[in-house]
Chains A and B, each alone.
Chain A
Amino acid sequence: MTPIVLALNFALSFAGLAALALSLDRHHRDAFLSRPPKARARGLRVAGWAGILLSLAASVALEGWNFGPVQWIGALTGASLLVVALLSYRPGWLRPAALAALPLALIALPFALRG
């Protein structure tokens, strides 16, 4: 249960949830002032679920079936709260923050694997 695995979980969940939020008309408009084109919404939805599943896979692979799901749900909850906070106070920051979370997850990955 290293914090670095949790950070990896958190980054993946956050990026995934942000993509899912942006795939919804209302929040896409909050961030980009327009509705998402159909293909883009679909792409965001796929990317979002992929991020969430990757987060689950990472937590189970690194923490086992005992702690993995607990940590995954904890990270999802924290990340979704951050998405909501950004959407309602700084909607323009959501996309850059989600994009920044991905390289952070990549940086955390080797440390998580080693720890």
Chain B
Amino acid sequence: MRQGFRQSMAWLHTWSGLVVGWVLFAVFVTGAASYYRAEISEWMRPELQTGAPIDAGRAADLAADYLRAKAPAAQGWFIGLPQPDKPVTELYWWNDLVSPLQHALLDPRTGAPSPARDTQGGDFLYRFHFELNMPPLWGRWIVGLCAMVLLVALVSGIVTHRRIFADFFTFRRRKSLQRGWLDAHNVTGVLALPFHLMIAYTGIVTLAPMYVPWGITAAFKGDETRFFVEAGLSPEVRLPVGKPGSIVSLAPLVATAQARVSEPLEHVAVYNPGDAAATIVTIFEEPKGLAHLHPQIAFDGATGAELGTTGLVRPATRISAAFVGLHEAHFAGPALRALFFLCGLMGAAAIASGLILWSVARLPKAGERPGLGFRLVRALNVGAVAGLPVGLAAYFLANRLLPVGVAGRADLEVRIFFGAWAAIALAALLRPHLRAWREALGLASLLFLAIPVVSALTTGAQAFDGAARFLGFDAAMLATGLLLAFAASEAGRTRPPRRAEPAVPAGRPAQRAAGTPQARSAAPAPARRRA
């Protein structure tokens, strides 16, 4: 029975991993990039000057003026106040809960639309990470389903892997093709296993009340707001009374709030701004700690009187918030954030190597015609794994090459991203398999290497505050390009070298024949069942 259990788990791991692998690869890559969402946005809006202090209260009032003219009947305004590293007022508003969020960027000093080029910046990658650029509900359910299948694949993969500790450091890239991919899959999966388990589970937890609302249904009769208030996650927010009203100036409230809480004030939300019972909520950066808990103070929109604050947070809620905090890693300094990023890429690598392993393990025999399913999986592998970097590079290049004034610029960037990705996926169907890999990865490499050059040529004439401002971004692009070039050259190899190479001493073949562990590892599986 035990053996049967392991085999059913092997089956489960193989097939669950295959069906969600393509989506999850993109989710992992864009998620890893989201750790640098602010940096990406900054690079994509080179017109903005960072550093100079900005009056947050005045910026909030200018934003309210803009929104009063633009969206007086909105259900809610969400004003992102300018920060030292983000010198722009970012507005979101929604007229109902179904239609997409509206968005605008303002110059925090004048209240006029921001002079920065029209782009979604890093926010596009961040939102793609959990919404796949679909209508939010659809995207979130699909990504949540994939994350759940990922958890299942992780658990069944752990059960399947017989030699986690013995093979912990093993990467036999020079043995057979399949062995190399299996080891690559194991190494990237096992070494970062704590991260993978954490990121899958905490990722689901970030949207838990949406996926599993049944606790709130049972204990709160479905009143989600009540739950958030009682858990200490949200202050009381009033329902609209249906009578028209207007809100007070935001600047004094911003000052009051800033005097009460030591963390930076990040957002001002206004619920039902055109109603007599409007509520204004000031939302602060989370205090130092793992937990993702933003202190909030709520004010009466009509009078400016304080309505309440976020309440006491009890242990379970704090743990839940720490799960979300771990997922987002806002607490991490540059070095730790780089490690989170690396772990995210290892997750993407584990998924990619698993997908490739599936096809390598099913290579048709010589003279056998490959089946349709097999060919489709292989083409999808190229399209998903090599197509995404091409799309990303095209997205960044489009940001620099599209004319600044062109209409619908932000959407155009996104369309170029998907267009480039789709073109690679189509080409993968038409080209011979190995060549498709090499060409797509090579193209991605060239595009990434071109980004710093194009950026310097197109924005070099503008006055920046400091020439070194984008050195980090440029270095990351160059490193990505070189990594992809390495991948392209490796993909060009049809099979590993027959026997190896300088580092191997003459004694090795003899040892192998003598039944050393290495030779044993190639022996039939039953001999090692107990290992």
Contacts and interface: CB of A to CB of B under 8 A. Distances in A.
A3 B333 CA distance: 8
A81 B290 contact: no
B171 to A, nearest CB: 4
B342 A81 contact: yes
Contact of B195 (A1, A17, A73): A73
A9 B517 CA distance: 33
B168 A80 contact: yes
Contacts of B192: 77, 81
Size class of A's contact patch? 20 to 34
A1 B495 CA distance: 45
B169 interface: yes
Contacts of B346: 77, 81
A73 B331 CA distance: 15
A24 B343 CA distance: 25
Contacts of B195: 73-74, 77
Interface in A62-86: 66-67, 70-71, 73-75, 77-78, 80-81, 83-84
A26 B505 contact: no
A25 B171 contact: no
A22 to B, nearest CB: 9
A66 B290 contact: yes
Contacts of B166: 24
Interface in B309-347: 326, 331-336, 339-340, 342-343, 346
B194 A33 contact: no
Given A73-B195, A91-B503, A80 B169 contact: yes
A21 to B, nearest CB: 4
Nearest to A73: B194
B196 to A, nearest CB: 10
Interface string A23-64: 011110110010100000000000000000000000000000
Contact of A88 (B173, B343, B505): B173
B518 interface: yes
Nearest to B521: A26
Nearest to B183: A88
10 closest A-B pairs (Cβ-Cβ)? A74-B339, A3-B335, A21-B169, A88-B171, A6-B335, A1-B333, A80-B191, A77-B192, A33-B505, A73-B194
